Structure 1
Amino acid sequence: MLELRRVSKAYAEGRQVLSDLTYTLKAGEYVAIMGESGVGKSTLLNIVAGLDTPDSGEVLIDGIAISQLDDAAATLLRRTALGFIFQAFHILPHLTLRQNIALPLLLNNMSVDRVEQMLTEVGLNGREDHFPHQLSGGELQRVAIARALVHCPRLVLADEPTGNLDPETAHDILQLIRTEIKNNNASGILVTHSHIAAATADAVLTMTRHGLQKTEPAKRQ
């Protein structure tokens, strides 16, 4: 599903964050990536999603090298294959919750039937006509999660998806993410500082400046 071939990236000031990173994630695999702040975890997700470009190396999704695609083709690949849960939510303020969650379905010419299901799954049923300014940070995070999963993407990228949630809600959301990935035979990468969150994945990888190391199979709660 996802292949990283010798991916390297340095920040503008010259600090190297990714160096010759090579890794393969197969369909159905769900991994958590942990590591110190600033080591490049979020940068890696942005590169995988095609939102940032590596200085060298290659990212392949379903055998397709992202760097070989023009802007239109890269956008289409992201829209159909990826579900990205951003730390910053990126909820559109002028759309209702229902409209925000339905957006990936509409862009992919899919039925919007799953919107109500996802609202229920993230505990926001009855709030579908509310606007983002009427929601708390934790509620906005749940909207972002529902939007990322609603079109059953083949690759789910989650960047600290439970940072604004209470422990009980976080548990439910993490189980939802795992269930959606497994039911759709998708692949998933969870970036987190939480060992509890990481334990919902199949394996835990530690990112250092030397690459990704599989430290342990996850011990699910």
Structure 2
Amino acid sequence: MRKTYGHGRVVLAHLDFTLAAGEYVAIMGDSGVGKSTLLNLIAGLDSANGGAILIDGVNIANLDDDGATRLRRQKLGFIFQAFHILPHLTLQQNVALPLLLNQAPPERALELLAAVGLDGRGNDFPRQLSGGELQRVAIARALAHRPTLILADEPTGNLDPDTAHEVLALLRQEIKANGASAIMVTHSAAAAASADRILIMSADGLRPLPDKATLPLLQ
């Protein structure tokens, strides 16, 4: 897979990897190397200049706008670094949104709010929350409809260590319980250590990190 911008500026190149069903992978690398761009490409929010991205055997480049929207709505859960919580909806309504879009019962929204430490806050609005609390809402929303693939962009970047540990445990639990797959990009060695395997991104592509004991060197 390859991605370029502007006058041929190469952002991603030489990327070739397979994510197995139920596998949880962390991707680490220097700032600006293209980790967030990779997630946007996988989600169909951006287009690659070469290669193919297949989700459940479907090449997302072959989907029209409606098809891409259906795929994201039904199969993907995206945890954005900038949250993207809708300010005019309550916390419960924000988390329930993917459930309603998939015509699923909305009750799971309150269960997930409780699971991320926001029990009893369902009727609050985003303006009443701290940055860390907004991140927890974003994580609950991404998990709500039990997606096939979870894409997480620095999911613990705004969380204190204890909350980060709880959220990572919930993320892993949901992945394994639902047979989902997940790709998390992160600068946090502690977050990366929760994954099944770790890949290091550089200008030369992706390489595996064979030994998690070397993680502190990457912080």
TM category (shorter chain) comes to over 0.9
Which residue of 186, 191, 197 corresponds with 1:192?
186
In 1: Cα distance, 2:113 partner to 2:212 partner: 28
In 1: Cα distance, 2:192 partner to 2:186 partner: 7
AA partner of residue 179 (structure 2) = N
1:40-55 → structure 2 map (5 Å cutoff): 40-55=34-49
AA partner of residue 117 (structure 2) = G
- Report the Cα offset of residue 215 of structure 1: 1.2
TM-score by length of 2: 0.95
- Report the Cα offset of residue 21 of structure 1: 1.2
AA partner of residue 112 (structure 1) = P
Residues 1:180 and 2:201 aligned together:
no
1:50-61 → structure 2 map (5 Å cutoff): 50-61=44-55
What are the Cα deviations for residues 118-161 of structure 1, in whole angstroms up to 9, with x where unaligned? 01101111111011111111111000000000110010000000
Question: Match of 1:138?
Answer: 132
Residues 1:70 and 2:77 aligned together:
no
Question: Match of 1:148?
Answer: 142
The range that moved more, 13-22 or 32-41, is 13-22
Which residue of 9, 13, 16 corresponds with 2:10?
16
Higher strand fraction (1 or 2): 1
Query: What do you get for the CA RMSD once the two structures are aligned?
Result: 1.3
Please give the secondary structure, in 1, of the residue aligned with 2:31: coil
Q: Are the equivalent residues in 2 in contact too, given 1:201–1:218 (CA < 8 A)? A: no
AA partner of residue 12 (structure 1) = G
In 1: Cα distance, 2:84 partner to 2:153 partner: 13
AA partner of residue 17 (structure 1) = V
Residues 1:39 and 2:33 aligned together:
yes
- Report the Cα offset of residue 218 of structure 1: 4.5
TM-score by length of 1: 0.94
Please give the secondary structure, in 2, of the residue aligned with 1:24: coil
Q: Percent identity?
A: 64
Please give the secondary structure, in 1, of the residue aligned with 2:209: strand
The range that moved more, 15-24 or 33-42, is 15-24
The 1:217/1:75 distance shift into structure 2, 3 A limit, reads: farther
Please give the secondary structure, in 1, of the residue aligned with 2:210: strand
In 2: Cα distance, 1:97 partner to 1:180 partner: 20
Gaps of 5+ in 2: none
In 2: Cα distance, 1:174 partner to 1:138 partner: 14
Which residue of 54, 71, 77 corresponds with 1:83?
77
AA partner of residue 59 (structure 2) = A
Question: Match of 1:166?
Answer: 160
Gaps of 5+ in 1: 1-6
In 1: Cα distance, 2:139 partner to 2:155 partner: 7
